[in-house]
């Protein structure tokens, strides 16, 4: 009887070790990092107005699409306090780190951009190019070119 109890306990212990091993075999040993493959500027928002963008392959920048003449850039009407929000998408959607940073020429007298939000503040009329860069060491980026001009009277 003593031998059978020892054998049963030994067999149950072995089964428990196998079951626990199988359960933890499915556990992820390391995290898989999915890097950003592309950043797309889908549009810009000026106040309550939303404008689509298009990719200008000749200069590798996104521009505001002119609704009256599709495929040509739209010039925004400059007024003091003009703010523009850059709307973007990060691909793939399941990228581990989808955060981006916005930047422009720090010496620009045309516009400034908030690095975390993409909100552009125009200081004067003119054209400025903004860079959207992924924060995940993938070196992926996109450029957006905006132009604001005082409307003709």
**Residue 30 pLDDT > 70:** no
pLDDT, mean of residues 37-50: 95
Contact 35, 86 (CB under 8 A): no
**Residue 23 pLDDT > 90:** no
CATH code, domain with 120: 2.60.40.1080
Domain that residue 125 falls in: 38-149
102 located within any domain:
yes
**Residue 134 pLDDT > 80:** yes
28 located within any domain:
no
18 located within any domain:
no
Confidence of residue 153 (pLDDT cuts 50, 70, 90): low
65 located within any domain:
yes
* Pairwise CA distance, residues 140 & 131, whole Å: 10
Q: Give residue for tokens 């149950």.
A: 12
Residues 6+ positions from 145 with CB-CB distance below 8 Å:
56, 59, 61, 62, 63, 73, 127, 128, 129, 130
Q: pTM of the entire structure? A: 0.78
In the chain, how many domains are there?
Answer: 1
120 located within any domain:
yes
Give backbone dihedrals phi and psi of 56, rounded to 5 degrees, phi first: -90, 100
91 located within any domain:
yes
Regarding predicted confidence, which is higher, 66 or 19? 66
116 located within any domain:
yes
128 located within any domain:
yes
pLDDT reported for residue 151: 87
Regarding predicted confidence, which is higher, 89 or 27? 89
What 3-state DSSP class applies to 70? coil
């Amino acid at each position: 009887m003593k031998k059978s109890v020892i054998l049963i306990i030994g067999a149950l212990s072995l089964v428990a070790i196998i079951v626990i091993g199988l359960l933890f075999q499915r556990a992820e040993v390391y995290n898989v990092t999915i890097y950003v493959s592309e950043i797309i500027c889908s549009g810009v928002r000026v106040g309550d107005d939303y404008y689509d963008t298009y990719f200008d392959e000749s200069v590798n920048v996104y521009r505001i699409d002119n609704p009256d003449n599709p495929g040509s850039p739209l010039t925004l009407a400059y007024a003091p306090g003009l703010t523009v929000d850059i709307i973007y998408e990060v691909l793939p959607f399941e990228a581990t780190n989808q955060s981006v940073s916005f930047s422009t020429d720090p010496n620009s007298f045309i516009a400034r951009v908030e690095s975390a939000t993409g909100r552009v503040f125009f200081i004067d009329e003119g054209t400025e190019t903004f860079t959207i860069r992924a924060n995940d060491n993938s070196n992926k980026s996109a450029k957006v070119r905006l132009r604001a001009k005082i409307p003709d009277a």
